[in-house]
Structure 1
Amino acid sequence: MATPVTGLPTVGRDAAPEVTVRRVAMLSVHTSPLDQPGTGDGGGLNVTVREQALRLARRGVEVDVFTRWCDPERPPTVELADGVRVHHVRAGPVAPVDKNEVANHLCAFVLAAQRHPTAGTHDVLHAHYWLSGWVGRRLAERWDVPLVQMFHTLGVLKNATLAPGDRPEPALRLVAEERVARDADRVLVLTCGEARLLHRTYGLSGARLTVVPAGVDLDRFRPDPDPQVFPDFAAAGARSPQLLFVGRLQPLKGPDVAVRTLAEVRRTFPTARLRIIGGTSGNGHGALGPQQLRDLAADLGVADAVDLEPAVDQDTLARRYRAADVVLVPSRSETFGLVALEAQACGVPVVAADVPGLLAVVGAGGTLVAGHEPADHARAVTAYLADADRRAAAATAGTDTARSASWEHTVDRLLTVYGEVADDREELAV
Structure 2
Amino acid sequence: MTVSDLRPGPDAPLPKRVAVLSFHTSPLAQPGTGDAGGLNVYVLQTARRLARRGVEVEIFTRATHSSQPPVEEAGDGVLVRSIVAGPFEGLRKEDLPTQLCPFVAGVMRAEAGQAPGHYDLIHSHYWLSGQAGLVASEHWGVPLVHTAHTLAEVKNAVLTSGDTPEPESRRIGEQQIVDAAHRLVVNTTGERDELVGYYDADPADIDIVPPGADLEQYTPGTRRGTEQARRALGVAQRSEVIAFVGRIQPLKAPDVVVRALAEIVRAEPHRDVRLLVVGGPSGSGLERPRSLMELAEELGVAERVSFLAPRPPSELVDVYRAADIVAVPSYSESFGLVALEAQACGTPVVAAAVGGLPTAVANGRTGLTVDGHDPREWARVLGSLLDDDELRLEMSRHAPVHAAEFSWDSTADGLLASYAGTMASYRARRAAATAS
List gaps (5 residues or longer) in structure 1. Answer: 231-236
**Aligned residue in 1 for 2:369:** 368
Report what 1:169 is aligned to: 166
**Partner deviation per Cα, 1:80-125 (whole Å, 9 max, x = no partner):** 1121000011211233521111100101111121111348511110
- Conserved in 2, the CA contact under 8 Å of 1:187 and 1:208? yes
Please point out which of 178, 202, 207 is paired with 1:205: 202
Which residue of the partner structure matches residue 392 of structure 1? 393
CA contact (8 A) 1:99 1:283 kept: no
Listed one character per residue, the Cα deviations across residues 333-381 of structure 1 (whole Å, up to 9, x for unaligned) are 1111111111111111111111122122111211111111111111111
Structure 2 equivalent of residue 275 of structure 1: 276
Say whether 1:102 aligns with 2:96.
Answer: yes
**Which residue in 1 is equivalent to 2:87?**
93
Contact 1:17 1:416 in 2 (8 A): no
* 2:232 aligned residue: none
C-alpha change, 1:197 and 1:205, in structure 2 (3 Å) is same
SS in 2 for 1:368: strand
CA distance in 1, matches of 2:295, 2:16: 52
Shift of 1:427: 1.6
Structure holding more helix per residue: 2
How much has 1:412 moved relative to structure 2? 0.5
Paired letter, 1:281? S
Residue in 1 aligned with 2:231?
none
> Paired residue for 2:219, among 222, 226, 234?
222
- Given the superposition, is the C-alpha separation of residues 98 and 120 from structure 1 closer, same or farther in structure 2, using an over 3 Å criterion? farther
Find out whether 1:63 has 2:57 as its counterpart: yes
User: Contact 2:226–2:322 at 8 Å: present in 1 too?
Assistant: no
Output the CA distance in 1 between the equivalents of 2:10 and 2:379.
43
Match of 2:69 in 1: 75
In the aligned structure 1, how far is the partner of 2:424 from the partner of 2:100? 29
In structure 2, relative to structure 1, the CA distance for the partners of 1:60 and 1:390 (3 Å cut) is: same
**Paired residue secondary structure (2:216):** coil
Cα distance in 1, alignment partners of residues 12 and 239 from structure 2: 51
CA distance 1:17–1:152, change in 2 (3 Å): farther
In the TM superposition, residue 202 of structure 1 has moved relative to its aligned partner by 2.0
In the alignment, structure 1 residue 158 sits paired with structure 2 residue 158: no
Q: Which ranges in structure 2 are unaligned for 5 or more consecutive residues? A: 228-235, 432-436
Shift of 1:226: 4.7
In the alignment, which of 102, 124, 144 is matched to residue 127 of structure 1? 124
Tell me if structure 2 keeps the 8 A contact 1:216–1:407.
Answer: yes
Shift of 1:227: 8.3
Deviation at 1:265, TM superposition (A): 2.3
> Counterpart of 1:78 in structure 2: which amino acid?
E
1:155-304 paired onto structure 2 within 5 Å: 155-226=152-223, 239-266=238-265, 267-268=267-268, 270-283=271-284, 287=287, 289=289, 291-304=290-303
Shift in alpha-carbon separation, 1:195–1:239, aligned structure 2, 3 A? same
Deviation at 1:18, TM superposition (A): 8.0
SS at match of 2:74: strand
| Aligned partners of 1:148 and 1:185 also within 8 Å | yes
The residue number in structure 2 matching 1:37 is 31
Q: Is this contact kept in 2: 1:252–1:331, CA < 8 A?
A: yes
Instruction: Report the TM-score when normalising by structure 2.
Output: 0.91
The CA RMSD measured in Å over matched residues stands at 2.2
Of all paired residues, the percent bearing the same amino acid is 44
Q: Which amino acid aligns with 2:350?
A: V
For these two proteins, the number of residue pairs brought into alignment is 415
Partner secondary structure for residue 245 of structure 1: strand
Query: Cα gap change, 1:238/1:138 in structure 2, threshold over 3 Å: closer, same or farther?
Result: closer
CA contact (8 A) 2:13 2:423 kept: no
**Secondary structure in structure 2 of the residue aligned to 1:110:** helix
TM-score of the superposed pair, with normalisation by structure 1: 0.92
